[in-house]
Structure 1
Amino acid sequence: MKINIKRDSVVCYEIEAKNQTLLEALNEIKITQDCSLAYNSGCRSSVCGSCAVRVNGREVLACSYHVQDGDFVEPLNNTPVIRDLVVDMDKAYAFNAKAKAYQSSITSSVLLSHEDEKLNEVQSNCILCGSCYSACPVYAINSEFLGPFSLTRVWRYVSDKRELNKKEKIDTVQINGVWDCTLCNACTLVCPQGISSKADIEKLRARSVMFGYMDPSFSNFGGGLSF
């Protein structure tokens, strides 16, 4: 079985794989053929997100994807490549702080019901693998776009009944945020946790309207009409 890996150039490796995951194949290549091959791995059980790469143009976790003959493996898009399949996600992670995607002020006087907990249960499962940023066409052309997983995390806390600073969080996602998303759904299709950042962004837009915001693209309409 042949696997093509994008490094400084595309290198083809041949392995004897039987139902191997890509991570197992990468380990085999590194141990038996090329110890210089660089890639990330951690939990080996689709929990940590560190092994995210692109295979045949689609984002996957190497520890869960099963290799096929002729696969083309490359690093994630839209992030600086450190070496081979290892990328620098620091800028994307920094958007969590910029978007205030954290619990900033909480009241203990509100008790959550089981239904309340379900409101953001899925969003809490984000593993920060970066697949959504790699697939995002907006982030590809606007490196200041807050991006899918940061906006999903904002919704996770805005939807928490105990959070007191909801408007502050909504304020932070108006520029390079909710209105810049094209709602193409590419992020949802590649998320290994089944999180729909598109749906979360739509909810943030609705909440933004409740706080008096509107889509900036509409700002030039309605001003000079006569009948």
Structure 2
Amino acid sequence: MKINIKRESVAEYDVNIDGATLLEVLNEIKRSQDQSLAYSSGCRSGVCGSCAVRVNGREVLACSHHAKDGDLVEPLRNTPVLRDLVVDMDKAYSFNAKAKAWQSSLAEGVELSIENQHINELQSDCILCASCYSACPVYAVNSEFLGPFSLTRIWRYVSDKREADPKSKIDAVQTNGVWDCTLCNECTLVCPQGISSKADIEKLRAKSFMFGYMDPSFTNLGGGFGGGFNDGSPVF
């Protein structure tokens, strides 16, 4: 089985191993052919997300993807490549801080029902593998876009009945946030946890309307809905 790996140039390796995951193939290449090959891995169980790469133009977890003859393996996009398949995730993770993607304050006396607990259960399963970050086309034109996993994380807290100040989170995602997404759904297609960031962003947009914000693109249509704002400012 031949595996092509994008390094400084594309390197081809012939591996005598069938039915293996890509991570097992990479381990075999490093063990028996090229000790200089660099890649990331952790749990080997599809839980930590550290082994995310692109195979044949699609983001996957190396520990879950079953390697096939002729596969082209590349590092994630939209992130600086440190070496081979290892990328620097610092900027991607920094968007969680910019988006204030945490529980700000707890409302007193709020008890969650079973139904409430299930509202954001899926969003809580995000493993921060950044597959959605890599697949997102918006970064090609806006490197400051908060991005799918940060916006999904925001919805996880905005939808939490215990969050005492959801508006502060909605305020934080108006610039380079919910209105910049093209709703292309690429993030959903590559998420190993089956999370739809597109759906979460649509819900954040609906919540933004509830807090008095509007889509800035409406201003390009003659200032619809009483426009005049072009930066996601509240409309009262």
TM-score range, shorter chain: over 0.9
Q: How does 1:89-168 map to 2 (within 5 A)?
A: 89-168=89-168
C-alpha distance in structure 1 between counterparts of 2:130 and 2:216, whole Å? 28
Unmatched runs of 5 consecutive residues or more in structure 1 = none
Aligned residue identity for 1:88:
D
Q: How does 1:12-91 map to 2 (within 5 A)?
A: 12-91=12-91
C-alpha distance in structure 1 between counterparts of 2:105 and 2:203, whole Å? 21
- 2:221 is paired with a residue whose SS is coil
- Residue of structure 2 in register with 1:193 after alignment: 193
Deviations 1:119-152 (A, max 9, x none): 0000000000010010000022211000000000
C-alpha distance in structure 1 between counterparts of 2:107 and 2:203, whole Å? 23
- Residue of structure 1 in register with 2:207 after alignment: 207
State percent identity of aligned pairs.
78
- 1:19 is paired with a residue whose SS is coil
- Residue of structure 1 in register with 2:230 after alignment: none
C-alpha distance in structure 2 between counterparts of 1:54 and 1:157, whole Å? 30
TM-score (normalizing by structure 2): 0.93
Alpha carbon RMSD of aligned pairs, Å? 1.0
C-alpha distance in structure 2 between counterparts of 1:130 and 1:220, whole Å? 33
C-alpha distance in structure 2 between counterparts of 1:223 and 1:76, whole Å? 39
C-alpha distance in structure 2 between counterparts of 1:116 and 1:41, whole Å? 35
